[in-house]
């Protein structure tokens, strides 16, 4: 039975699609068969997949575009041939989120460390709680030498919310590798960005396997 991983954040620009793509490549490198669902009508993940098809990168990824509510129906089919199904969810669309959310085993919520982003994430967190799904907040675009990630962990712990031990830095390598149709672990395997994604993949696998 495949694990269903949903990347959700109703605030635009939080790094949702970037996280889904890089994590898919990192999980595939851990010998997991990965399937991707692009449920975001903007189609950014689909554009990355198309760029990837033009490269010589290995293709351990199954992919299905299913904007909005159709994503929930695509999950069972892809789950039959995968170890992990990653859903890149739509932003600002409660009806489109509910269906795939109900299929999820774990929800990743990328969050930049500004008060506005934390406040805006509340709608996503509330929806996840209503569906009684486990969630992992992923600090994203964290500035170098910042203590904000530790502060976020303390604040979220006070609210009984789980924050990943791995923070993703504000690194050009994340966007640059996606523009080439690659994951950062393929484009710059020795980079700090690749190390962060590998560490996060390890955390996610531990949570999924434990569940």
Q: How is the chain split into domains, by residue range? A: 3-205
Q: What is the pTM of this model?
A: 0.89
Please tell me the predicted confidence (pLDDT) of residue 201: 96
Residue 45 has pLDDT above 70, yes or no: yes
Architecture of the domain delimited by 3-205: 3-Layer(aba) Sandwich (3.40)
pLDDT in tens, 190-202: 999 999 999 999 9
Please tell me the predicted confidence (pLDDT) of residue 19: 96
Alpha-helical (H) ranges within 134-191 are: 148-158, 172-179, 184-187
Q: How confident is the model at residue 138 (pLDDT cuts 50, 70, 90)?
A: very high
Kindly compute the dihedral angle of the four CA atoms of residues 174, 176, 177, 181, in this order, to the nearest 10 degrees. Answer: 130
């Amino acid at each position: 039975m495949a694990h269903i991983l949903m990347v959700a954040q109703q605030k635009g620009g939080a790094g949702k699609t970037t996280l889904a793509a890089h994590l898919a490549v990192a999980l595939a490198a851990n010998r997991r068969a990965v399937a991707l669902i692009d449920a975001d009508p903007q189609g950014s993940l689909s554009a990355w997949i198309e760029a990837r098809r033009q490269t010589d990168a290995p293709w351990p990824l199954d992919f299905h575009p299913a904007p909005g509510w159709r994503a929930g129906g695509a999950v069972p089919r892809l789950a039959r041939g995968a170890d992990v199904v990653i859903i890149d969810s739509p932003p600002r669309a409660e009806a489109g989120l509910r269906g795939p959310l109900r299929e999820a085993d774990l929800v990743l919520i990328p969050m930049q460390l500004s008060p506005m982003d934390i406040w805006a994430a509340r709608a996503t967190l509330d929806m996840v709680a209503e569906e009684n799904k486990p969630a992992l907040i992923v600090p994203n675009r964290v500035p170098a030498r910042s203590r904000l990630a530790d502060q976020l962990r303390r604040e979220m712990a006070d609210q009984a919310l789980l924050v990943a031990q791995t923070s993703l830095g504000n690194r050009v390598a994340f966007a640059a590798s996606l523009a080439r149709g690659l994951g950062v672990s393929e484009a710059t395997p020795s980079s700090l960005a690749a190390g962060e994604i590998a560490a996060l993949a390890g955390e996610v696998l531990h949570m999924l396997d434990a569940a």
